Structure 1
Amino acid sequence: MSTFDLKSFLEAQQARVEALLHARSARLEPSGTPSMLAEAMRYSLMAGGKRLRPVLCLSFADAIAQQSTALRAAEDAACALEYIHTYSLVHDDLPSMDNDDLRRGRPTSHKVYGEAMAILAGDALLTEAFGLLASGPEPVRVALCRELAMASGSSGMVGGQVLDIAEDRPAQMDYLTRMHGKKTGALVRAACRMGVLAAGGSAEDLRRADSYGEAVGLAFQIADDILDVTGDAKLMGKPVGADAAAGRYTFPAVIGLEASWVLAERMVADAVAAVEPIEGPGGPLSVLARYMVERNS
C-alpha cells in the first residue's frame, strides 16, 4: 500500500492552481474586458472545486521533467484546461441544458447574472483559454492548442454533450462508454497529454499518458454516476438523483451498481499500470487514479 500523502499533495497542487488562475484572471479588466463580464467569468472560474484537470496536467509535467517547478507552458495549459472545463459547466447548468440551480455549493451563473451573461461568460472563457495557451514563445504551444481544440470541440467534449442530450439515447454500454469518452474523458486525457507535451516527453510517455487519461476519465465518470445514486448533496454541493429524475441512462442504471464499481476498479488498475514506468510505484498519479473512485464528492 502506498504511503503517499494524497491529501497534502492535492492541497498543495490545488493551491498552486488557484494562484495561477488568480494571476491570469486578474488580467481580464486591464485588457479591456467589461467589468460585469469579468466578474461573471471569475465568479465561476474561482468557485473552487477539485481542479482535477490542471492538477493532472501539472503532475504529468512534473513527472516528465523530474522537477517541482512547472514549465510556463505547462502552467498556461493547466489554466486553459480549467477555463474550458468551467465554461462547459456554466453552459451545462443553463435552463436549455441541465437547468441546475447549484454548482459547487453556490447559485449557478445564470441564477446570479442571468442567462445571457452566463452564455457570454462561457463563450469568453472558451476563447480566452486559447489566447492564454498561445501567449508564449515556446513552439510546443501549437501542439498544445491542437490537443485542447480536439478534446473540447465537436469530436470531443461538445460531441459528447450532443450524445448526452439525444432523445433517442439507448440504454447500451457501448453508447455510454463512447459518450463519456468524449464528454468527460477527452478533456481528462488531453490534460495528461498536454502535461507530457509541455515538459518535452517522449512518444512513449505520450502513449502512457493517453492510456492513463482514458482509464482515469472513465473511472471518474463511473464514480460520478455512482455518487448521483449514493452521494450526499451537502458534500457534493449539488443535487443528487438528478440523472434518474431526468430519465438519463447511467452506468448503475445500465449495468448495475456492483458492476459499475468493478468496472471503475478495473479502470484504476489500468491507469496505475500505464503510469508506473513514468513515476515509479505509489507515485502521485497512481494515487490520484485511486482517488477517482474513492472520493465522496
Structure 2
Amino acid sequence: METKNFDFFAYLKRKAEKVEKVLTEFFPQPKGYGGRVVEAASYSLSAGGKRIRPVLCLASCEVVGGRDEDVLFFAAGIECIHTYSLIHDDLPAMDDDDFRRGKPSCHKAYDEATAILAGDGLQSLAFWFFTHPEQVKRVSKSALLKAIHLISQAVGFEGMVGGQMADLLMEGKKAGLKILKWIHLHKTVKLIEASVLAGALLAKAKKKELQALKSYAKHLGMAFQIVDDLLDVIGDEKKLGKKNLSDLKKQKLTYPSVVGLEKTRELAEIHTQKAISALEPFGEKAIPLRAMAEFVLKRVY
C-alpha cells in the first residue's frame, strides 16, 4: 500500500475546502448586541490550520464506502469543537499563549471574557452542525446519535476536559509515563479517535472496520501528541505559528521531559507504524489515512 504517488497535500486541501465551505456558508453573522463574540469566534476559526480532525472524519467515511457530502456538517462541527478548545487552552488561566497559528490568540485580539464566550459559542455551534436538518436527512438517525454521543464523551470529563485538568495539575511536578500517557490519551487522542469513528459510523461501517479504525486513530493520536511535544523543543517557530519551548518554560509533563528526545522520536515512529498496520484490512482504499499518519510523523523532520 504505497503512498509515494499519492498527492496528500492536494487531498488535504480538497477535503478541507469542502469543510470550509460549510463553515463559511452557515456560520452566524455578527449582528446585534452579541456581534462581537461572533466576530471573535470567526477570527479564531478562520486563523488557519489544516483541519486535520474534520478531514479524518471525511477520510474514514470514505474508506468504508461513504461520501463526503453525507458527513460535511458533522465534520464542520468537529472543527468548531477543536477551535473552541484552542481558544480556551490559550487563556492566561490555562496555557497562557499569546499566539496561535501565527496570529494573536483570541484573548489577545479581543479580551479574555470575549474569548471565553467565543469558545462557549463554538462548542454550542458544533452541536448545531451535528443536528442540522441537512445532516439529519443524509444519515441514519441512530448512527448520528451514536456519533454525537461519541464526540460528547471525547471532549468532556472523560476526554479532553479531564485531560486538560490533569495537564494543568502536573505542571512543575515529576511523574512517569503512566500519567503522561493518560493525559495525552484524554487531552488529544480521544477527539482524534472520535473524529475517525464518527465518520465511519455515519457511513454504516461494520464492527470489524470500526475496530481497525479505532486502533488506527488511537495510535495516530498518540503519534500526533508526541510529535507536538517534540516540535515544542525542536520546531521552527515560523512554521508552528507560536513560540517554542513554551512547554519547557511552564514545566509541563511531556515526552522529551520524561524520556528524552531520542526515545521520544522512537515512540513517535512506533505509534505511526502501528497506526499504518491497523489499516491493512482496507488495502488501497486506506492510502489517504496512511498518508495522514506519515504526514503527522514527518512534521518533525
CA distance in 2, matches of 1:264, 1:63: 24
* Deviation (angstroms), 1:145: 1.1
Query: Aligned in 2, Cα 1:39/1:114: closer, same or farther, shift over 3 Å?
Result: same
Residues 99 and 120 of structure 1: CA distance in aligned 2, closer, same or farther (over 3 Å): same
Amino acid at match of 2:49: G
How much does 1:29 deviate? 4.8
Find out whether 1:104 has 2:139 as its counterpart: no
Structure 1 residues 296, 167: closer, same or farther in 2, change over 3 A? Answer: closer
Q: Aligned letter for 1:42?
A: S
Q: Equivalent residue for 1:269?
A: 273
Distance in 1, matches of 2:271 and 2:121, equals 34
User: Counterpart of 1:65 in 2: which secondary structure?
Assistant: coil
- 8 Å CA contact 2:30, 2:39 repeated in 1: no
Letter in 1 for 2:17: A
Is residue 2:177 matched to residue 1:173?
Answer: yes
Distance 2:105 2:185 in 1: 26
Q: Give the conservation status (yes or no) of the 8 Å contact 2:223–2:297.
A: yes
Matches within 5 A, 1:61-140: 61-65=61-65, 69-72=67-70, 74-136=71-133, 137=136, 138=139, 139=141, 140=143
Q: Do the aligned residues in 2 keep the contact of 1:63 with 1:279 (CA within 8 Å)? A: no
Equivalent position to 1:206, from 199, 207, 210: 210
User: Is the CA contact (8 Å cut-off) linking 1:236 and 1:296 kept in structure 2?
Assistant: no
> 2-11 or 46-55, which moves further after superposition?
2-11
What letter is aligned with 2:20? E
Deviation at 1:33, TM superposition (A): 8.3
CA contact (8 A) 1:235 1:296 kept: no
> How far does the alpha carbon of each residue in 1:225-256 deviate from its partner, in whole angstroms, 9 at most, with x for none?
11111011111100000011111121011111
1:283 match: secondary structure: helix
Is the contact made by 1:77 and 1:144 (CA closer than 8 Å) also made in structure 2? no
- Find 2:12's aligned residue among 10, 23, 38: 10
The alignment partner of 1:98 has SS state of coil
Aligned position for 2:153: 150
**Could you tell me whether the CA contact under 8 Å between 1:155 and 1:182 is conserved in 2?**
yes
Q: What stretches of structure 2 of length at least 5 have no aligned partner? A: none
Aligned equivalents of 1:154, 1:272: Cα separation in 2: 29
Q: Secondary structure at the match of 2:64?
A: helix
Aligned twin of 1:49:
49
> Aligned pair 1:19/2:21, yes or no?
yes
Distance 2:62 2:74 in 1: 13
Number of residue pairs matched by the alignment:
292
Give per-residue Cα distances to partners, 1:156-191, cap 9 Å, x unaligned.
000000110014754211111111000000000001
Distance 1:41 1:33 in 2: 15
Name whichever of 126-135 and 148-157 sits farther off: 126-135
For the 8 Å contact 1:44–1:90, the answer to whether it is kept is yes
For the residue of structure 2 that corresponds to 1:50, the secondary structure is coil
CA distance in 2 between partners of 1:28 and 1:200 (Å):
34
Tell me, yes or no, if the aligned pair for 1:91 and 1:97 is still in contact at 8 Å.
yes
Identity of aligned residues (%): 39
C-alpha distance in structure 2 between counterparts of 1:51 and 1:279, whole Å: 25
Q: Counterparts of 2:38 and 2:58 in 1: how far apart (Å)?
A: 26
Does 1:221 pair with 2:228? no
Deviation at 1:135, TM superposition (A): 2.0
Normalized against structure 2, the TM-score is what? 0.92
Gaps of 5+ in 1: none
